[in-house]
Every structure is written in C-alpha cells, then in structure tokens.
C-alpha cells in the first residue's frame, strides 16, 4: 500500500509546526490462534497546540496505535513497518523515529516529552502513597531541582488543575479522593514534566457527565495555556465534537477519514463516518428508528480484502474488494480513503446528521 501524504494546505492549522507524524504504521499480534492484523497502515499528523482525536469503535485499533508509538505493546504484538517521527525530543536536537530508536532512548521520551493519561484514574494511582509522594516521584527525576522547589512545583500543578488549596490534597491518599479529583491529579502528573505531547486514552469515560464536562473543560484550557498537543482517544462523539480541532476516524486498523471537527460532523465523505454519526441518538430531534451501519466489525484474524469496510458498505463494487483505497484529498485538509467519496457527498444531506 502506498499512502499519499496529507497535502500541505493553506489553512492556519497546517502552517503550524508538526509535533508527531505517523506513517504507514503496521502492527500485528502473533497469538496462538493466529495472526491478528491489528493496524494496516496508520497515517496521521499532530500539530503543535492542537487537540487531535482518534475515534472509532471497540477493536478498531485506537489503543494499539498509541501503544505501538510509545513502545508499550504486549509481548505478542510487533510493529512490522512504518515510522513515527517525533520532532520535539528534549534530549536530542533532531527528529527521532520512535519506532526504531533504542529502548533506553524511548524511555527518556516517554514520561517526559510524551505523557499519558489513562482511562481509569483509580487504577493508575498507587494506593499506598500520598499524592505528594506520587507527584514528586514524577517531577524530580526529570529535572534538576531541589526537593523544596519540587514541592512548590507540585503545589502549582495542583492549583492549575483546580485542586485548591493544594495543602489539602498533598497529604491525601487516592482512596480519599473522588473520581473527578483523581483524574485531576493524573492530569497534573501528565503536565508535570512540561511535555510537548499528551496522549489521553478515554480520559473521561469513567466519570459522570457533570464531572466529565468539568474535566474536559480543564483539559482544553490547559492544553492551550501550556501550548502542548493532545491526542485524544475516545468513542464518545459528543466529547469529540466539543473539544477537538481535528478528528481521525478509525475503522478496522486504518484511519479512514481525517478532517477538521466541523467537516467530520457536517461534511463526512466516508460511508462509515456517515453511518456512525447517524447511529447516535440525538436530543435535538426524536426519531422513530435509529440508523445504523449494517453488519458486524470484521474479524481481524482474517480481515476482508481491499477496503476492510466493503462487506458493510452500500457503495461497494469490485474495485473495493480488490484494492485498498488510497487517501484522497477531497477538500483542503480533508482526507478520505474511499473510492466513492464523491457519491457519498452527493447522497448525504445535512438534515440526516
């Protein structure tokens, strides 16, 4: 497969500097039952200061993408090919390919230049250490500052995530905090090393809506004030619509459509994106029946040939079965991997969305 690079366009976002560029990432899992072709050539770019969302349903490869980039795959997983160029390493002055550098190098980048916010805040905090201990443990190894300065920094961070006064929280243990407070601590930890990229895997899924809304607002604010970038992995289309700048829609191991948030929601070109959007129950209008994408997610032990979406697609023809569709730029900054994007454009009506 030959992926066409996302073309440079004149939009403001594209003028910005690229932080991470992933090209043709292929990852497979070698299990006892056979080979799982989890990723079949992932392409995307993250720009400075933007929130880029990777959206897709269970098993589409969102988390595998992140794990591949960070070198955190399980033993059975193997990155077969591709590159993930990271442009903002603080230890090296040149761009590095995260997929080919040594383990010791990636360890220096992971946790310092690229940090991670996991889904479940309670399982990622150590239950037997105080918040102070856990914050200092992150701040000190990555900078040459005294214990006192580190403590000051910890307090600043807590204030930034709206846990004030910080003295009330420093001596607490995780079990004494609510889910929302724990997630704020995790966000503080992710910011502690002044990273240039934060990856958040379903950061608000475990939270209630009112708490979730506050955490998302906070994240949006902090990403802007720290001028860092965020890769947000989620399946919640509501969350994505509210905070992302650009969205990549994933299906069965491939990013099938990339565009601005506005375009994804109002001008989708891929039949899967269109189907996914229509299946969300809306509170704006009540429908008798919800639309949905017919069929099931493919078995990645034996994925469909050509375009992996073809067995479920109403536009499919022979070419879809034979050849993987290349990326095409349908509008400036809007890329789609589908032979029939023009037909989708003709058929879609805004009132359906």
Partner 1 sequence: MSKTLSNHMKMKKDQENIRLSVKNLKKYFKETSGFMGRNVELVKAVDDVSFSLGKNETIGVVGESGCGKTTLGKTVMRILEPTSGKILLNTRENETIDIVEAEKEQMKKVRKEMQMVFQDPKSSLNPRMSIKDIVGEPFDILNLVESKKEKEGKVLDALERVGLKPEHMERYPHEFSGGQKQRIGIARALAVNPSILLLDEPTSALDVSVQAKILNLLNKIKRDLKLSFIFISHDLGVVYHMSEKIMVMYLGKVVEFGDSEKIYHNPQHPYTKSLFSSLPVPDPREKRKRIEIDGDLPSPKNPPEGCRFNTRCFEELNEECKKRIPPLREIQDGHWVACPQKR
Q: Which of 93, 287, 318, 351 binds partner 1 (CB under 8 A)?
A: 287
Burial class (CB in 10 A: 0-12, 13-18, 19+), 13: middle
Residue 65 makes CB contacts below 8 A (sequence gap 6+) with: 22, 25, 27, 39, 42, 54, 250
- In this complex, which beta carbon is closest to partner 1, that of residue 99 or of residue 276? 276
Other CB atoms within a 10 A radius of the CB of residue 226 amount to 16
Q: Torsions phi, psi of 41, nearest 5?
A: 105, 80
- In this complex, which beta carbon is closest to partner 1, that of residue 94 or of residue 286? 286
Residue 166 makes CB contacts below 8 A (sequence gap 6+) with: 154, 155, 156, 158, 159
> How do 229-234 and 197-201 pair as beta strands?
parallel
Asked if residue 122 binds partner 1 (CB under 8 A), the reply is: no
Q: Which of 31, 123, 126, 282 binds partner 1 (CB under 8 A)?
A: 282
Asked if residue 242 binds partner 1 (CB under 8 A), the reply is: yes
- In this complex, which beta carbon is closest to partner 1, that of residue 127 or of residue 281? 281
Q: Which helix (H) or strand (E) holds 229?
A: strand 229-234
Asked if residue 178 binds partner 1 (CB under 8 A), the reply is: yes
Q: Shortest Cβ distance from residue 305 to partner 1 (Å)?
A: 22
Q: Shortest Cβ distance from residue 268 to partner 1 (Å)?
A: 12
Stretch that binds partner 1, among 31-39, 157-165, 195-203, 261-269 (CB under 8 A): 261-269
Asked if residue 197 binds partner 1 (CB under 8 A), the reply is: no
- In this complex, which beta carbon is closest to partner 1, that of residue 138 or of residue 264? 264
Q: Shortest Cβ distance from residue 262 to partner 1 (Å)?
A: 5
Asked if residue 141 binds partner 1 (CB under 8 A), the reply is: no
Asked if residue 261 binds partner 1 (CB under 8 A), the reply is: yes
Asked if residue 252 binds partner 1 (CB under 8 A), the reply is: no
Q: Shortest Cβ distance from residue 3 to partner 1 (Å)?
A: 26
Which ranges of the chain would DSSP assign to H, the alpha helix?
12-15, 62-70, 103-109, 121-124, 131-139, 147-160, 167-170, 179-191, 209-225, 237-243, 261-266, 271-278, 318-322, 341-347
Asked if residue 173 binds partner 1 (CB under 8 A), the reply is: no
Q: Shortest Cβ distance from residue 317 to partner 1 (Å)?
A: 23
Q: Is residue 22 within 8 Å of 87, Cβ to Cβ?
A: no
What mask, x for binding partner 1 by CB under 8 A, covers residues 289 to 308? xxxxx--x------------
Residues that bind partner 1 (rule: CB under 8 A) add up to a total of 44
Identify the residue whose tokens are 């392409």: 43
12-41 residues in contact with partner 1 (CB under 8 A) are: none
DSSP result, 54-76: EE--TTSSHHHHHHHHHT---TT
Burial class (CB in 10 A: 0-12, 13-18, 19+), 162: middle
Q: Which of 10, 33, 58, 94 binds partner 1 (CB under 8 A)?
A: 58
Q: Shortest Cβ distance from residue 247 to partner 1 (Å)?
A: 9
Q: Which of 236, 304, 306, 329 binds partner 1 (CB under 8 A)?
A: 236
| Max CA distance (Å), the chain | 68
Asked if residue 174 binds partner 1 (CB under 8 A), the reply is: no
Asked if residue 280 binds partner 1 (CB under 8 A), the reply is: yes
Q: Is residue 320 within 8 Å of 307, Cβ to Cβ?
A: yes
| Site for partner 1, rule CB under 8 A | 57-58, 178, 180-181, 208-214, 216-217, 235-242, 261-262, 265-266, 275-277, 279-284, 286-293, 296
């Amino acid at each position: 497969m030959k992926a066409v690079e996302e073309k440079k366009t004149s939009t403001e976002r594209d003028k910005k500097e690229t932080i991470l560029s992933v090209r043709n990432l292929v990852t497979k899992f070698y299990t006892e039952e056979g080979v799982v072709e989890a990723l079949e050539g992932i392409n995307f770019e993250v720009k400075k200061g933007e929130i880029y969302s990777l959206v897709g349903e269970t098993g589409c490869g969102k988390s595998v993408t992140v794990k591949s980039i960070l070198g955190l795959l399980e033993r059975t997983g193997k990155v077969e090919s591709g590159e993930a160029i990271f442009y903002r390493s603080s230890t090296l002055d040149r761009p590095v390919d995260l997929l080919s550098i040594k383990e010791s190098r990636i360890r220096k980048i992971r946790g310092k230049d690229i940090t991670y916010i996991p889904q479940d805040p309670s399982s990622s905090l150590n239950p037997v250490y105080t918040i102070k201990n856990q914050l200092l443990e992150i701040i000190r190894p990555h900078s040459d500052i005294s214990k006192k300065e580190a403590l000051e920094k910890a307090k600043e961070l807590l204030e930034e995530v709206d846990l004030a006064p910080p003295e009330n929280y420093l001596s607490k243990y995780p079990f004494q905090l609510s889910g929302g407070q724990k997630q704020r601590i995790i966000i503080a930890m992710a910011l502690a090393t002044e990273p240039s990229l934060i990856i958040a895997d379903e950061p608000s899924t475990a939270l209630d809506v009112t708490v979730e809304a506050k955490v998302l607002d906070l994240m949006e604010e902090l990403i802007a004030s720290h001028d860092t970038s965020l890769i947000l992995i989620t399946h919640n289309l509501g969350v994505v619509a509210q905070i992302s700048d650009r969205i990549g829609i994933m299906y069965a191991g491939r990013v099938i459509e990339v565009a601005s948030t506005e375009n994804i929601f109002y001008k989708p070109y891929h039949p899967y994106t269109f189907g996914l959007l229509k299946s969300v129950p809306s509170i704006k209008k009540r429908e008798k029946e919800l639309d949905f994408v017919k069929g099931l997610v493919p078995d990645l032990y034996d994925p469909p040939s050509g375009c992996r979406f073809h067995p479920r697609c109403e536009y499919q023809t022979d070419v879809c079965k034979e050849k993987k569709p290349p990326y095409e730029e349908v509008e400036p900054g809007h890329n789609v991997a589908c032979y029939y994007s023009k037909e989708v454009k003709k058929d879609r009506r805004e009132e359906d969305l």
